[in-house]
Amino acid sequence: MRNAITNLESKQVAGYILDLRNNPGGLLFASVEIAKMWLDKGTIVSVRERVGKGDREVAHGNALTNKPLVILVDKGSASASEILSGALQDNKRADLVGTRTFGKGLVQSVRSLGDGSGLAVTIAKYYTPLNHDINKHGIEPDVKVELTDAQRQNLWLHERDKIGTLQDPQFAKAVEVLGRKISSR
């Protein structure tokens, strides 16, 4: 991500679209580091344990760009991608376009059992900077663009070459939103 942003900044781009659709997430650390590339200051995520203890991840002035940003999300955006999109939305750094995200905001620890199997135990929950519980609720986009199940399946399974083009209805709306953000600067 750092290399991509740096490369695009050297080309004098006017703004960015980050596509997190169908992104099931990854490591908390990675989402926090990516958020810091876009966010100069502010809370990124709060992690709260069952016993009430909590921790916050915060940006410290190392954003690589302040140019307009739009993020594409959908019901396939989960976990770390929700942390990233929630952080940038709550801090007014990005507008989200698409549909509500999946809603996986749990911190889990896998414990090995004697028979070789494992048990996932929920030990904490993720909250956005404005204190929204990600789990089961997901992140609501600023601009909703619904696709029917048939449209979604067709786009993602049969016409993948249209993803990220103006023939992709959610991407086309993101381009429109980004254009307005650029014009208003």
The residue annotated as part of the active site, out of 104, 125, 168, 173, is 104
Whether 133 is a known active-site residue: answer: no
Whether 40 is a known active-site residue: answer: no
Find all residues with CB under 8 Å of 150, minimum gap 6, and list them: none
Distance, CA of 122 to CA of 153 (rounded, Å): 32
Whether 75 is a known active-site residue: answer: no
The residue annotated as part of the active site, out of 79, 81, 168, 173, is 79
For 81, the token pair is: 């991608």
Find all residues with CB under 8 Å of 143, minimum gap 6, and list them: 95, 96, 97, 98, 173, 177
Q: How far is CA 72 from CA 4, 85, 145, 146, in A?
A: 17, 9, 10, 12
* CA 3 to centroid of chain Cα atoms: 19
The three-state secondary structure class of 166 is coil
At residue 159's C-alpha, the angle toward residues 157 and 21, to 5°, is 65
Q: Where are the beta strands (DSSP E) in the chain?
A: 16-19, 41-49, 54-60, 69-73, 95-98, 106-112, 118-127, 143-144
The residue annotated as part of the active site, out of 31, 67, 74, 90, is 90
- Residues classed as catalytic: 79, 90, 104
